[in-house]
Structure 1
Amino acid sequence: MSATYEVQRTNQIVGPRKWWAFATVLLTMFFSSLDQTVVSTAMPTIISDLHGLNLYTWVFTAYMITSSITVPIYGKLSDVFGRKPFYLFGLVMFGIGSAISGQAHTMMELVWARAVQGIGAGAMMSMPRATVGDIFSPKERARWMGVMMAVFGLSSIVGPAIGGWITDDWSWRWVFYVNLPFVVIALLGVAVALPKVRTKDQVKVDWQGAAMLTVGLVPILLALTWAGSKYAWASPQIIGMLAGGVAVLAAFVVWETRAQDPLVAPWLFRNRIFTTSLILQLLVGMAMFGSLMYLPIFVQGVIGLNAQNSGWIMTPMMGGFMVGSMVSGQVMSKTGRYRHVAWLSGAVIVVGSGLLNRIDVHTSWPTIMVDMVVLGLGIGALMPLMNMAVQNAFPYRVMGTVNASQQFVSSLGGVIASPVFGSVLNRAFAHKLGVLLPPGLAAMKSKLGSLNPQALLTAQAQKAIAAQFSRFGAAGEALYHQLMQAVKLSLTFGIQRLFLVGLVFSVLTFIGTFFLPEVKLKGDEYFRGEPEEDAV
């Protein structure tokens, strides 16, 4: 028996222990998802407190860069040495990053702390998915997908509300400290439930590839973040950073084809299911990105809800997400097929994105709720389907590598989308605000037109602006209300542009589902490494 096969059987979790492992996976999914939604809700207050508006997107980007780069490393090593040591290391790093984030006194400190947190998050992105593969075959996994997505959906529902409540009634620092008890509980679960793997195999980590990837991504992300605000899009600085980053990434691709143990295995891309699912994940991620990250901004800035109440706006979408995942999971578990589910899911995503494009300054909460339910149904049915299709298409012995590579490539979409969508919103907002400002505010046009819309959302910022206008008496108060109305209209204009872009990606997602090959979902033969069926 080969060393690889021994590791394969040792990684598999059977008997009563698998239910403890599954519970640990659900707990990890819950609090890692909770962290992202809680932080997003608290960001307007954090910006107001730390005065680092120009670094706003880097609070998310730093986290995504470090988590994305570490994902393939964790996945490759876990196939040989087991999931346990990397799960433990990731949880510890995530806890350390959370503690440092809560202590940050400047935005730059917070950015670095989030980078540390992201190193741990890389393990929590790849290890839970691989561990579920150690417990259930692809066909069984479809049955349990509803439970997994219900936990994810629950965290996404309660996360914004918890984040808003902590931010409004306690302090934004506690949105990071709340992770620590979950980390301790998850550490205990991993220590008890996951097996320890012993092997003599030696694996060489592709540190050169990781360094090249980092060097290539950073200037591109800087360019996307600063373009249109700090520098013009056609400026030498932006063009130089983009060109330099692309050149290094091209060298990274060449390096990966020659590396002994590449960070991203090139042979994976020869599988049509893998490449098609990656493209679909990028497309659907771009389609939903504006909704997840910027809809709370619309609710706070236009509808006028506070941080705590605006967090509940994501509840309908996550409810639809859970229902969609449970229904599609049951269908796939019974039939062993997923192609028709993918087609229907893509169509529902297009309908949901189309409904969101109707919003304006007069849109009510109930209307947004209906739109989000429809979008959530489509996304909830499609995203888990793609993960399962990819896992089913490869032998079990390389599942960690496959999972990690898929997660790494798809997460790059989020890394790039964050600054791009932020730039689209800021440019549209600034342009529209400059047009809508009343004549009495013409002298302030240039200053107000350069403001990031998120700087005007907090009660503190609005009170400070109102105080400045109050010095001019009744006329100043009237000007203040005119300004805030212009801000609402401009913010709505910017959000509309984001949803229009999202609609384009939704249509592309629907078209892409017709190119996804299908291999019937495997049962116990998946763990025995039996030959896979041809795609149909």
Structure 2
Amino acid sequence: MGRVLALPACSDPSPSAPRTLGAGLLLVVLIVAFESMAVGTVLPRVAGDLHGLSLYGWASSAFLLSSLFGAVVSGVVADRRSLATSASVSLLIFAAGLMVAGGATSMLLFVLGRLVQGLGAGGLGALPFAVITARYPEHARARMLAAVSSAWLIPALVGPLIASLIADAWSWRAVFWGLVPVLALASPLCVLPLRSGPREAASGGRGGLELLGPALGLALSAGAVVEGLRRPDLLAALLLALGGGGVALTSRRLFPPGLWRFAPGLPAALALRGLAAFALLGANAFLPLALHDLRGLSLTQAGWLLSVGGATWTLGSWVQAQLERRSGAASRPVRIRVGMAGIVLGLLVTALGTLGHTPLWSVYAGWFVACLSMGVGYNSNSLFALGALAPEEAGRLSGQLANIEVLMVAVAAGVGGALIARVEPLGTAFALAFGVTLLGAVLTALPALRLTPKSG
């Protein structure tokens, strides 16, 4: 996850950060990544045990939207207090969310736990970039960034499978509670070196305070849209109108002009990222439930599918890197368009298999194609976006890339959850949910056509 404000000002970084800091930082990233990758696998069992299918979409949307705001808050705390304080607060909030979610006796309490988790996870997701900038010398930063990226790889590959095995052997509650003692062991390794190391220079300005309002407004507005989609009463129309207006208004402060009309260059690249995330990650939010309810797969079998997705996304990223090395920046728009077309094809095959129109193996084949294409197109699009700005603006761009992804995935999860809650039979609900995500994938063609080598 990225952040939406600049990194805190800092004094000259230490010649060599303590090894315990690197170990603690990577352990924290591993824990957050595992939780993020694992929850989707066990959500069908959570919804069944707590009789909360109507709030299924909120279990993902609440986490995502609160993480957006949590990233901004953690940046403000780091800027005005210290990195150690920011890390400590985020760790405590994340642990509290794990405890609430694991002990939930109703789906509403579970969603509340997910919301609290998101506040902490947003801060922890932004932490590595701030720590690496403030505490590591220039020559060591690339190595640490690579290590952080690798720390996300392992949970993406095995997190869903491990979570399903834990849920089958014990309980889905163990997936949440089991992370708390691990977090308690990792936290001192991360926080203590930050407390004992050189203090960051205090920012003389307002830091990220000016972004707190827009970030909170965006999260609340998107939440109103999600709830409006879910509700069957007259209040739904009011929530949709207020939420949609709020998203449009707050987006002006957090994203470049022309985002929603796919203006050439950076706005089109951000819009494409949002639509691609809406399509693939939105489908990922309800895919395990659909496979469980429609095709009779166990959580472990569904976990295998999500692990396949993590592996093939990584493979696609590697393929993209090789193509970038051989063909250069001029080929990025073509790679992006091919990647988006692959997502459409892969999602269509996945949907047909999940709904029972084609053999079950086609679900795995379709998901392989979709995630491989995502790795190629998504990363090529990120490089295109980076090339559209000056190097000193990369920090702001990372926040914009993260926030458009969070916003669109939260809305997609909300749409899917609303259809599952309101449409019967479930087969029809899942067909409509796939249709919505497929529409998002098809719409990526519009911003993709506004990406040209000249803009990159």
TM-score (norm 2): 0.80
1:197 pairs with 2:164: no
Give yes or no for the alignment of 1:499 onto 2:434: yes
- 8 Å Cα contact 2:8-2:130 kept in structure 1: no
Shift of 1:240: 1.9
The Cα of 1:379 is off from its aligned counterpart by 0.9
Contact 2:222 2:407 in 1 (8 A): no
Q: Does 1:345 align with 2:339?
A: yes
Q: Which residue of 1 aligns with 2:44?
A: 44
Query: Following TM superposition, by how much is the alpha carbon of 1:413 offset from its aligned partner in structure 2, in angstroms?
Result: 0.6
Distance 1:208 1:502 in 2: 30
Task: Return the offset for 1:375.
Answer: 1.0
Following superposition, the deviation at residue 340 of structure 1 comes to 4.2
Using the alignment, how far apart are the partners of 2:321 and 2:131 within structure 1?
18
The 1:145/1:344 distance shift into structure 2, 3 A limit, reads: farther
Is contact 1:286–1:502 with CA below 8 Å preserved after alignment? yes
> Alpha carbons of 1:367 and 1:268: their partners in 2 closer, same or farther (altered >3 Å)?
closer
Partner residue of 1:276?
A: 268
Structure 2 residue 29 is matched with structure 1 residue 35: no
CA distance in 2, matches of 1:147, 1:512: 32
Aligned to 1:381: 376
Note the alpha carbon deviations across 1:5-30, whole angstroms, 9 max, x for none. Answer: 9966748x686549877665654443
How far apart are 1:333 and its partner, in Å? 5.5
Counterparts of 2:455 and 2:322, CA distance in 1: 22
Residue deviations 1:377-412, cap 9 Å, x none? 111223344445445554565544432233223211
Which residue is 1:323 aligned to? 315
- Where does 1:125-140 land on structure 2 (aligned, <5 Å)? 125-128=125-128
Q: Is 1:110 aligned to 2:110, yes or no?
A: yes
Q: Residue 405 of structure 1 aligns with which residue?
A: 400
Contact 1:325 1:384 survives alignment (8 Å): yes
2:162 alignment counterpart: 162
Q: Are the counterparts in 2 of residues 75 and 400 from structure 1 also a CA contact under 8 Å?
A: no
Are residues 294 and 287 of structure 1, via their aligned partners in 2, closer, same or farther at CA, if it must alter by over 3 Å?
same
CA distance in 1, matches of 2:133, 2:336: 21
Residue identity in the other structure for 2:433: L
Query: Counterpart amino acid of 2:316?
Result: G
Number of the residue aligned with 1:458 = none
Answer yes or no: is 1:417 the counterpart of 2:418: no
**1:131, distance to aligned residue in structure 2 (A):** 5.7
The 10-residue stretch of structure 1 (278-287 or 342-351) with the greater mean CA deviation from structure 2: 342-351
Unpaired runs of at least 5, structure 1: 257-263, 434-452, 454-490, 519-533
Judge conservation of contact 2:278–2:411 (CA < 8 Å) in 1. Answer: no
The 3 A distance-change label for structure 1 pair 21 and 396 is: farther
- Residue type at the aligned position of 1:368: V
| 1: CA distance, partners of 2:163 / 2:62 | 20
AA paired with 1:282?
G
CA distance in 1, matches of 2:131, 2:391: 12
Instruction: Kindly indicate whether the alpha-carbon contact (under 8 Å) linking 2:286 and 2:416 is maintained by their aligned counterparts in 1.
Output: no
Change (3 A) 1:342 1:86: farther
Q: Which residue of 2 aligns with 1:461?
A: none
Distance 1:23 1:394, change over 3 A: farther
What's the counterpart of residue 55 of structure 1?
A: 55
> In 2 relative to 1, CA 146–363 (structure 1 residues): closer, same or farther, beyond 3 Å?
farther
Quickly say closer, same or farther: Cα 1:127–1:344, change in 2 above 3 A. Answer: farther
Question: 1:175 and 2:189 equivalent?
Answer: no
Write the distance in 2 (CA, Å) between the matches of 1:290 and 1:247.
Answer: 22
User: Which amino acid in the other structure matches residue 358 of structure 1?
Assistant: L
Inter-partner Cα distance in structure 2 for 1:18 and 1:344: 44
CA distance 1:150–1:376, change in 2 (3 Å): farther
- State the identity as a percent: 22
**Amino acid across the alignment from 2:442:** V
Equivalent-residue separation in structure 2 for 1:196 and 1:62 (angstroms): 34
The residue aligned with 2:350 is 356
Cα pair distance change 1:202/1:322, threshold 3 Å: same
Match for residue 3 of structure 2? Answer: none
Question: What is the CA–CA distance in structure 2 between the aligned matches of 1:414 and 1:333, rounded to whole Å?
Answer: 30
Structure 2 match to 1:71: 71
Write the deviation string for residues 246-270 of structure 1: whole angstroms up to 9, x where unpaired. Answer: 444556467x4xxxxxxx3768979
Alignment-derived partner of residue 238 in structure 1? 236
Q: Relative to 1, partners in 2 of residues 1:426 and 1:218: Cα closer, same or farther, differing over 3 Å?
A: closer
**Structure-2 change in CA distance of 1:267 and 1:45 (3 Å):** closer
Distance in 1 separating the partners of 2:434 and 2:18: 42
Question: Shift of the alpha carbon at 1:119?
Answer: 0.8
Relative distance call for 1:250 and 1:510 in structure 2 (3 A) is: closer
Q: Secondary structure at the match of 1:367?
A: helix
- Cα distance, 1:318 vs. partner? 1.7
Q: 1:268-325: per-residue Cα shift (whole Å, max 9, x none)? A: 9799654222201111112213431222223222332222232112222222111111
Equivalent-residue separation in structure 1 for 2:42 and 2:7 (angstroms): 47
**1:425-476 CA deviation, whole Å, 9 max, x = no partner?**
4555x1xx4xxxxxxxxxxxxxxxxxxx4xxxxxxxxxxxxxxxxxxxxxxx
> TM-score, with normalisation over the residues of structure 1?
0.69
Say what the alpha-carbon RMSD is for the aligned residues. 3.9
Task: Indicate the structure (1 or 2) with the bigger Cα radius of gyration.
Answer: 1
Q: Distance in 2 between matches of 1:505 and 1:128?
A: 31
Q: Secondary structure at the match of 1:415?
A: helix
Matched, 1:220 2:225: yes
Q: Name the residue aligned to 1:480.
A: none
Q: Could you tell me how far apart the structure 2 residues matched to 1:6 and 1:118 are?
A: 20
Cα distance change of structure 1 residues 248 and 324 upon mapping to structure 2, 3 Å threshold? closer
Distance change in 2, residues 1:123/1:197 (3 Å): same
Q: Closer, same or farther in 2 for the Cα pair 1:200/1:293, shift >3 Å?
A: closer
Q: For this pair of structures, how many residues does the alignment match? A: 438
